[in-house]
Amino acid sequence: MDHEAIKRRQSLKVIISEVIMVIAVIVTVIVLALIVSGYWLGSGFKVERQGMLQISSIPTGADVIIDGESSWLQRTNTSKVLPTGEHVVTLKREGYDSWTKTINISEGLLYRIHYPRLFLLERTTTPITDTIGTTKVFVSPSHDTMLLYSGDPAVLNTSVYSVLPKEQNSAFTTDPVPNWLSINLDADTPEVKPVTLSMLYEHFKKPEPSKKETVKDFNPNLKISESEKLFFSKFYEDRYLTTLNNDVVTVYKKEYDEPVLKVTLEFVPEITHAGHDGEFMIFSNKSRIATLDMETMSVGYWNTDAESYDWLDNDMIYSVSAGELYVYDYDGLNRRIIAHDVSSRFPVILTRDKWLYYFSDDNLIREQITE
């Protein structure tokens, strides 16, 4: 037996095996790198550079229909690789209305949609309490408590703040304060209670001031005039500074000396609002709205159905016109009527992504909008 020949054959097998393993590792790394960069096998097994869509909804578990196609694997709270370009995304769930948006997928980038909200089609209307004589409504920032005031609005500030000391102390009593009622909106069975001095203090006390970011902190090289209004925000991991000078909007990215966007609006805004985690900016003058979308760095224009509007949540706007409650995404899309006979005098409140409260015919009404 030729032991040397056997050793040579074994050594050759080991070398070949190692070479194959190295090649397999290299190929795997290259494939993974291409996938991360957005390359994928498209139709006809052609390698195409694609992007990714990440979509969620309230409630979860809605069917995701992309360009008219769906499958049992496509549900919200999942991600999907898509070819670059425009796609029509529709969300549907049995018993709910639908949601649709046309998006533009960029190669190698992630497009997130986290704000779609679907509303139950069949809802029970439950009167909570009559509000006859109510002149003012206050809602806590967390939307878990509502205060109803039935006194003279002209003396409201005096009647509230004259009885509130600078600091809470033992002088507070449990005696009810005239003209005030409290409703716990967060409970399965809301309860109407008298309001005490302590409750008023907790509701109206001013929060501790937080440190504000300055232009110097953002980028010491920027030259901003004193007349410009400043709005600091964060989108993904990037920091942005948006300035408003009359009708001119300028957007700077941190550590960039030149603006990434500068646009003249079609109107002079009266109100400016920084949206969910800085993902958009809303500029408005009565019913006219301009939305600056930080995802696409573009401005779109649209109108609400009434001259005044408010926020239903961090991403959705509502207005009341002729008793109809209209809701819109922050960009004006998915305009829907979700309630009727709604008073425009007092706010509409959304609690726990489940309960919708509004005022109608001197009553506070609650509807369950998700199961």
pLDDT digits (tens, 9 = 90+) for 141-164: 889 999 999 988 877 765 555 555
- 161-191 per-position pLDDT tens digit: 555 555 545 455 677 888 899 999 988 899 9
User: How far does CA 269 lie from the centroid of its chain?
Assistant: 21
Which segment of 128-137, 159-168, 179-188, 273-282 scores lowest on mean pLDDT? 159-168
pTM of the model: 0.83
205 phi, psi to nearest 5 deg: -65, 145
pLDDT tens figures, 310-336:
999 999 999 999 999 999 999 999 999
In the prediction, which pLDDT does 21 show?
Answer: 81
**What kind of fold does domain 39-113 have according to CATH?**
Immunoglobulin-like (2.60.40)
pLDDT at position 277 is 73
What does the pLDDT read at residue 159?
52
Strand partners, 207: none
pLDDT of residue 308: 92
Reported as a single tens digit per residue, the pLDDT across 294-303 is 888 999 999 9
pLDDT band at 82 (very low <50, low <70, confident <90, very high): confident
- Give residues with Cβ within 8 angstroms of 98, minimum separation 6: 90, 91, 92, 118
Q: Quote the percentage of the chain above a pLDDT of 90.
A: 51
One-letter amino acid at 196 equals: T
pLDDT at 246: 94
Q: What is the mean pLDDT of residues 259-287?
A: 92
Q: What is the mean pLDDT of residues 110-137?
A: 93
Give me the pLDDT at residue 20, please.
77
Per-residue pLDDT band for 30 (boundaries 50, 70, 90) equals low
CA distance 104 to 115: 17
**Whether pLDDT at 22 is above 80:** no
Under 8 Å between Cβ of 242 and 251:
yes
pLDDT at position 346 is 95
Residue 363 corresponds to which tokens in the numbers above? 């009553």
Confidence at residue 156, expressed as pLDDT on a 0 to 100 scale: 72
pLDDT at 116: 95
Beta bridge partners of 318: 310, 327
pLDDT at 223 over 60: yes
In the prediction, which pLDDT does 170 show?
47
- pLDDT at position 154 is 77
Cα–Cα distance for residue pair 244/231, rounded to 1 Å:
8
Find residue 252's DSSP bridge partners. Answer: 241
Start-to-end Cα distance in the chain:
79
Residue 28 has pLDDT above 80, yes or no: no
pLDDT digits 0-9 by tens, 250-261: 999 988 888 999
**Which pLDDT band, with edges at 50, 70 and 90, does 46 fall under?**
low
Rounded to 10 degrees, the C-alpha dihedral 305/95/70/54 comes to: 60
CA separation for the pair 132, 17 (Å, rounded): 85
Instruction: Give the number of other Cβ atoms within 10 Å of residue 99's Cβ.
Output: 23
Average pLDDT of the chain to the nearest whole number: 85
Instruction: For residues 301-310, give the mean pLDDT.
Output: 95
Write down how long the chain is.
371
Q: How far is CA 299 from CA 105, 262, 272, 362, in A?
A: 18, 10, 14, 40
pLDDT of residue 305: 96
